[in-house]
Amino acid sequence: MPGLEAIAAAAGKAVVERAVREGLAARTARAERGADLTTLIQSGFPDRFLRRSLERQLEAIADGVERRLAVLVEREYGGLAENDRTAVLHEVVATVQAADLSDGALLAADMDPIKLAKAIRAGLPDPARQLGEAGARLFDMLLDECLDCLVRIVQQLPQYLPRAGTELLGRVSAVDDRLATLGQQVSSVLARLPARSLDAPSGTRDDDEFLRRYLGHISTTLDEVELFGVRVETYRPRATLSVAYISLNACPDELDRGGGLPRARFAELTEAEVRHEPVTSRVESALGRFRRVLLRGGAGSGKSTLLRWLAVTATRGGLTGDLAGWNDSVPFVIKLRSHGAGNLPAPENFLADVARPVAGLMPEGWAHRVLGSGRALLMVDGVDELSPRHRPAVRRWLDGLLAAYPEIRVIVTSRPAAADARWLEEEGFSSVTMEPMTPVHLRELVRQWHTAMRGSGNLPFAAEKLDEYEGALLARFESSPYLQTLASTPLLAAMLCALNLDRGKQLPRNRMGLYAAALELLLQRRDAERGIVSEVVLEPEQKVRVLQDLAWQLGVWGRSELSRATALKRVEEKIQTMPRVDCTAEVLLDHLLQRSGVIREPVPGRIDFVHRTVQEYLAAKQAADGADVEPLIERAHLDQWRETVVMAAGHANAPLREELLRGLLRRVAADDEHARRLCLLVIGCLETIQELPRALSGAVEECFAAVIPPRDESEAGALASAGEEVLRRLPDDLAGLSSLEAAATVRTCWLINGAEALERLARYSGDSSFFVQRELITAWDYFDPEEYARRVMADSPLIDRGSGGHANVENPRLFPHLRHLRNLEDLWIAPRGESLEFLGDVGSLRSLNVPGLAGPGALDVLSRQPGLEELWVSLRAEPVDSRWPPMPPSLRKAHLFRDDPAPDLRFLDRFHMVEELSLDRLDEIADFTPLASLTELRVLSLFDCHRLSDPAVFGGLLRLTELELTYPALDGIAGLVDNCPNLRRIALRHIPSLDDITPLASLALEEVTLSHCVNLVDLTPLSGLRELRKVSIRYCEKIHDLSPLKPLRRLKRVNLIGLPGAVDVAPLAGKRDLVVKSDDGQELRNADLLDPTAMIYRL
């Protein structure tokens, strides 16, 4: 091996050895830091399989460091003599091996590699004396790079993190899992760190270095979530978000109210704007469908947590599935609560909310350059945390950003009451709504919460006892439906976990009791039971009084945070009215910030409540304690005040509660504009009150009558909060209701849950409305799957998509119970490695869609589906087997997709009977002759067919009428047309050599799609195609003239996407009922000349 390569390899090994030595050596065993690495691994990992795993991972990491150093040396100092470069690397290796990299040294440098390098250099002689000026600069750069890599590796090592107190509690108890992915994680971190340009003085040359710093900062600081309600001695354990995160469900909001959507077929496969049926799925899948998303969800539903997880995981390149394309993104998180006055940040201030410590290092214009590159992932959190008068500013702000940078990805979050599904529709946003947690999600959260606790230490009992607490809580959820209903959000579920641990399994029965118990836990009991003595001696009620005053002021002022000076003033005024408080306002405020877990100081000088829900609970208590309900009545129509009003009703004594309800009812009678919302609020108050004044029962009954049936999902949620009082007033059947009212009624029912709800859903199940059936399928996750299948779904007509009763089922718990669905003919399932044997017990299927299949061998169960006509399959990367079993003779349509390139097409002999076939990932296929045996083919779509050069393979397909080819290696299309004389529809995509479509003139075409044919100039050959009904021209950069389309009398649809400059559509004048689709950026001239019946749609 050449000398330079050898020393680069030695440098990579030295970095890894020092990182692991510091990471594995026990804090009390300082002598071990000098031990051989093999000895350290043996002592740290007694299990030989774990040792082998770690050794393999470390070799891979060392290789990654070596590659980075070698590239850096060659690129930056290629002109330096090889022996000089080798000498520099020798010095770097020696320095790394000798440096003080103990815990103390690393933590003294704040785990910052730049500070660490500066400290190490301070103890070194001037390298220029030995290496020369150029060698010294190279030495500095390589030392910085080595230390950067070293710190990153140390941060990933599972043994190091508990010592530093910054890692997930549960991650420590899963060392074997961490080792399995350690090399991948570190390699991903190193790969995302751009190469250094330390000697670049100005301009954009510092961009990559700052990106490295910024990504590293948010990867660390956002990757934690507080374990609610848990305090251990002097610190609060924090869960690493990237491990503690659980994936929840969401559903795209249906804005097109036209009904069910048909299955996509050939025509749709060629279109970028294929519509997706709005079904409940994992939230990551729902987000992955759209570039701009308005994410709506109730209080504590996990919206903010999801944004932080996306930011952390994107920086590490760890997103998969529908979000895999986001891994190159640069996340910006904007917390709207920090901009309460509506003064929203310009790009140069985007880092202030989550990366303030590094914001001052940002090169001028860097954020704008990231936005302009299209790599930005802008996440805007909390529209509902702004006052209504400031929310329009968010839309204007987004308008300006998207006009300047149309390619960025954007997610905006809000509670539903603050932003309906159409709030950002004009800005091109699709709305997605978070669903309540299912029992599956709840069990997963409970398990992960207790797993995190196991590694925390300092528990008041043996860690093994946590199994007992976890089991008891899960059993309570199974036996007590009210608890499952109460734990509908991650926040409430985490509260129940903490209270179960704290109260010896004794849990509150309602939301008000839950919040009260959580406050008691946070403010007093945990410290008292652990013997933690504070210099500030306050009764729990005194702490609550101070906190509720702050919460009330935030609500009245319409803000989500206070300046520290304002908070101090409020505390000072409050304690002047409180006897037996002998500390200063500043001491008291600091005590609450440090010990309460209720308020915090996220940035110096700004104070807010950790959880918005707790803030609303305390504000409601202040209103009730002050016997002042007029402000509540005046603001009751504002969505920001809904929860405060509802909980104030629960806090209030009987006379005050009656005064509040009377005031709300007076507004209902007098306020036509807000009457419906106020009726819903009155009904919502029934959730928290124990008794309703008899004198008001008639007026409350009128409120029920005014809002039942509910009109949409938001109203359904508001009604459901009142529980069984609403359930018994819902209609007995859905006849006479609109499809949206019927669906909202079903949703109200399943949100309330319970035996009576199940009985009512069984009565609703015969309704054939698309929206009703979608809600019934969604509800299945929230009931016992066997009972629900038998009583509700068994005779349901399901969703009608033209191929029989259709159902989308993602939860594996439901798979075994599909056998009860007598009308199921069209099934979409998403197995995660589960056997498909259950399909053998399902009634006669006509269509099956299985995304993410581990291997085709699992489809052998289809031999028990003799009526199957259509199959959609996508195979995961590296399928566990590649053997395709025989297909049912009835199969007519097969759409076979995969993550990895197909090795060959010999498996097509299993599909000799199909009439419609789609294949992708044909990158490596040179032999397409197996297609010739498919003599029944009418429709064929071949994607990624880079080596398809001989169209004679189609010569025997005499029935072929529809053909789509992507990336074929054809030399013109004359041979293609000769071999496919019966084509009626053709799509040619990504054929840069195609410059002449004259052969198409000999076909009787009805549809033509030409996409990314960048050298095609002339459409004249299309002018004689009298049957042509649809033309789609996409990203054909030299197409300007549409006049060849003028003679086409039957033309009804034209798609013009990504064409250069302005396109004159005057040749399309006079065509009745014409539909023209184009993207937002496409300029269409003379559109006013189109027939009045013509429509233009912008995508």
CA distance 830 to 645: 42
Bond preceding residue 709 cis, omega within 30 of 0:
yes
Quick check: is 682 in a domain?
Answer: yes
Q: Verify that 372 and 237 share a domain, yes or no.
A: yes
Name the token pair of 363: 């090169």
| DSSP letter assigned to residue 521 | I
Q: Is residue 100 one of the residues assigned to a domain?
A: yes
191 lies in a domain?
A: yes
- Which residue(s) pair with 281 in the sheet? 250
Q: Are residues 178 and 235 in the same domain?
A: no
CB 875 within 8 A of CB 898: yes
Q: What is the pLDDT of residue 657?
A: 95
User: What distance in Å separates the CA atoms of residue 401 and residue 963, rounded to the nearest whole number?
Assistant: 41
In a domain, 272, yes or no: no
Which of these ranges, 28-42, 784-798, 862-876, has the smallest mean pLDDT? 28-42
Q: Determine the pLDDT at residue 323.
A: 87
Q: Is residue 884 part of a domain?
A: no
CATH code of the domain covering residue 1001: 3.80.10.10
Q: Report pLDDT for 171.
A: 34
* pLDDT score, position 54: 63
Q: Mean pLDDT, to the nearest integer, of 894-921?
A: 94
Phi, then psi, of 874 in degrees rounded to 5: -130, 130
Predicted confidence at residue 270, as pLDDT, reads 40
Q: Give the amino acid at 349.
A: N
pLDDT number for residue 37: 54
Q: Is residue 931 part of a domain?
A: no
641 confidence band (pLDDT: 50, 70, 90): very high
Higher-confidence residue of 517 and 708: namely 708
Distance of CA 921 to the CA centre of its chain: 26
Cα(187)–Cα(176) distance, rounded to whole angstroms? 18
Residue 890 lies in a domain: no
Note the pLDDT of residue 831.
86
Residue 721 pLDDT class (50, 70, 90 cuts): confident
| Rounded-to-integer distance, Cα 785 and Cα 790, Å | 9
**Whether residues 137 and 116 fall in one domain:** yes
655: which 2 tokens? 């006379």
Encode burial over 431-455: b for 16+ CB neighbours within 10 A, e otherwise.
bbbbbbbbbbbbbbbbebbbbbbbb
Q: How far apart (Å, rounded) are the C-alpha atoms in residues 476 and 466?
A: 15
**In 3D, which of 813, 711, 750 has the Cα closest to residue 436?**
750
Where is average pLDDT lowest: 299-313, 787-801, 967-981, 995-1009? 299-313
pLDDT band at 680 (very low <50, low <70, confident <90, very high): very high
Distance CA 657, CA 649 (A): 5
Q: Quick one: pLDDT at residue 1081?
A: 76
Structure confidence at residue 235 (pLDDT): 36
pLDDT of res. 337 = 82
Question: Same domain for 569 and 497?
Answer: no
Are 409 and 446 in a shared domain?
A: no
Asked if the model's pLDDT at residue 864 lies above 70, the reply is yes
With cut-offs at 50, 70 and 90, classify the pLDDT of residue 493: confident
- For residue 192, pLDDT over 90 is answered with no
Average pLDDT over residues 93-116: 81
- Secondary structure of 380-432 in HEC code, one letter for each residue: EECHHHCCHHHHHHHHHHHHHHHHHCCCCEEEEEECHHHCCCCCCHHHCCEEE
- In a shared domain, residues 524 and 540: no
**pLDDT at 262 (0 to 100):** 30
Q: Given this model, what pLDDT does residue 1084 score?
A: 93
| CATH number of the domain to which 578 belongs | 1.10.10.10
Distance CA 444, CA 243 (A): 12
Residues 636 and 783 placed together within one structural domain of the fold = no
Q: What is the 3-state secondary structure (H, E, C) of 148-168?
A: HHHHHHHHHCCCHHHHHCCCC
Mean pLDDT value of segment 891-916: 94
The CATH number linked to 374 is 3.40.50.300
The C-alpha atoms of residue 240 and residue 185 are separated, in whole angstroms, by 14
pLDDT at 963: 98
- CA separation (Å) from 689 to 493, 511, 742? 22, 11, 29
Please tell me the predicted confidence (pLDDT) of residue 47. Answer: 57
Q: How many CA atoms lie within 13 A of 622 on its CB side?
A: 25
Domain match, 506 and 546 both: no
Range of the domain at 496: 439-529
Q: Where are the beta strands (DSSP E) in 776-822?
A: 799-800, 805-809
How many degrees, rounded to 5, is the angle at CA 884 between CA 878 and CA 886?
165
Residues 574 and 454 in one domain: no
Q: Give me the amino acid identity at 930.
A: P
Which of 45-49, 65-69, 132-136, 587-591 is the most confident on average?
587-591
Average pLDDT over residues 120-145: 81
Q: Are residues 17 and 110 in the same domain?
A: yes
The total number of structural domains in the chain stands at: 7
Extract the tokens encoding 198.
């330390």
Mark which of 468, 501, 529 sits at the end of a domain: 529
So what's the pLDDT on residue 23? Answer: 63
Q: Which of 607, 523, 545 is nearest to 231 (CA)?
A: 523
> Which percentage of the chain shows pLDDT scores above 90?
44
Q: Are residues 550 and 652 in the same domain?
A: no
Which tokens belong to 189? 């971190």
Q: Average pLDDT, whole number, for the chain?
A: 83
Please tell me which residue, 752 or 983, carries the higher pLDDT value: 983
Structure tokens at 1066: 């005057």
What's the N-to-C CA distance of the chain in angstroms? 57
Place of tokens 């093999």: 38
pLDDT per position as a tens digit, 256-284? 333 333 333 343 444 433 333 445 678 88
Report which listed range, 56-65, 198-207, 477-486, 519-528, is most confident: 56-65
Comparing 513-517, 696-700, 928-932, 983-987, which segment has the lowest mean pLDDT?
513-517
Q: Among 433, 464, 482, which residue terminates a domain?
A: 433
- Asked which of 248-252, 531-535, 948-952 is least confident by mean pLDDT, the reply is 531-535
Q: Which residue has the higher pLDDT, 787 or 42?
A: 787
Residue-level pLDDT at 800: 85
DSSP, collapsed to helix, strand or coil, labels residue 609 as strand
| Contact criterion met (CB below 8 Å) for 789 and 818 | yes
Per DSSP, the chain holds a count of helices (H) and strands (E) of 40, 29
Alpha carbon separation from 800 to 451, 769, 797, 827, 892 (Å, rounded):
43, 8, 8, 11, 20
* DSSP-derived secondary structure for 64-112: HHHHHHHHHHHHHHTTS-HHHHHHHHHHHHHHHHHS--SHHHHHHTTT-
What pLDDT does residue 284 have?
Answer: 85
Confidence at 983, pLDDT banded by 50, 70, 90? very high
Predicted confidence (pLDDT) at residue 3 exceeds the cutoff of 80: no
Q: Over the Cα atoms of the chain, what is R_g?
A: 32
Q: Which of 68-72, 421-425, 631-635 is the most confident on average?
A: 631-635
**Structural domain includes residue 502:** yes
Rounded to an integer, what distance in angstroms lies between the CA atom of residue 897 and that of residue 121?
A: 55
Tell how strand 870-875 and strand 847-853 pair up: parallel
Lowest mean pLDDT, pick from 466-475, 928-937, 980-989: 466-475
**Final residue before a domain boundary, out of 575, 598, 626:** 626
User: Do both 513 and 596 map to the same domain?
Assistant: no
* 953 burial level (CB within 10 Å; 0-12, 13-18, 19+): middle
Percent of the chain residues topping a pLDDT of 70: 83
By CB atoms closer than 10 A (0-12, 13-18, 19+), residue 647 is buried
How high is the pLDDT of residue 197? 38
E strand segments, 502-605: 561-563, 599-603
